[in-house]
Chains A and B, each alone.
Chain A
């Protein structure tokens, strides 16, 4: 398959902590919103929809047609919502992780792609180091001498 290209107009990643969806109707209308996101993905990819559908088909080993994509992209076609697996395939072949991130933030999650996970790991390591240093400081304050098994 052709190599996917990152769109130049992707949304920037933000470190704002997303809030979980807990309020009643917090996810109302999400089907239509996802359909608009599908439309946005397709509109901003300069490849023919037949190519996008074919790449999705290869990834899924299941036929995805242009008509299906058109239906998924139409908020009016409520009976043709895109499945989660096909949404994942669409994101993967178009490289629009920014839009997946935008959608997942609605339920309090964010997306890290590939080696970006190491950035989170650096934060985790720093946090662990800070905790251990605090523990070391506390222990130093107590500072007991080990007297067991001392030879005279």
Chain B
């Protein structure tokens, strides 16, 4: 999580939303395991977060992911 919050290409507000989304996945019916690979792709206008290959979310400055 600290990596996301410290990433220069991700605004603090977006980092908060990504972390909140990951927290929500952790509490869901299929929680994110500590060993599960979370990948964050930062592109020109959006940030894409993958939880393994079973879940993903897209974040942009305008959307809620």
Contact = CB atoms under 8 A, between A and B. Distances in A.
Contacts of A53: 56, 58
A3 B63 CA distance: 27
Contacts of B44: 61
Interface residues of A, number: 17
A57 B63 CA distance: 14
Interface in A35-75: 47-48, 50-51, 53-55, 57-58, 61-65
Contacts of A57: 43, 46, 48, 58
Using C-beta atoms within 8 Å of the partner chain, give the interface range for chain B.
10 to 19
A2 interface: yes
Nearest to B62: A63
Interface in A1-58: 1-3, 47-48, 50-51, 53-55, 57-58
Given A57-B46, A58-B41, A61-B44, A47 B54 contact: yes
Contact of B50 (A54, A61, A62, A64): A54
Contact of A54 (B45, B56, B60, B63): B56
B11 interface: no
B55 A65 contact: no
A132 B40 CA distance: 55
Contact of B57 (A47, A50, A62): A50
A51 B48 contact: no
Going nearest first, the 9 A-B pairs with the smallest beta carbon separation are A2-B53, A54-B56, A61-B43, A51-B56, A54-B48, A58-B41, A50-B56, A58-B48, A57-B58
Interface of B: 39, 41, 43-46, 48-50, 52-58, 60, 63
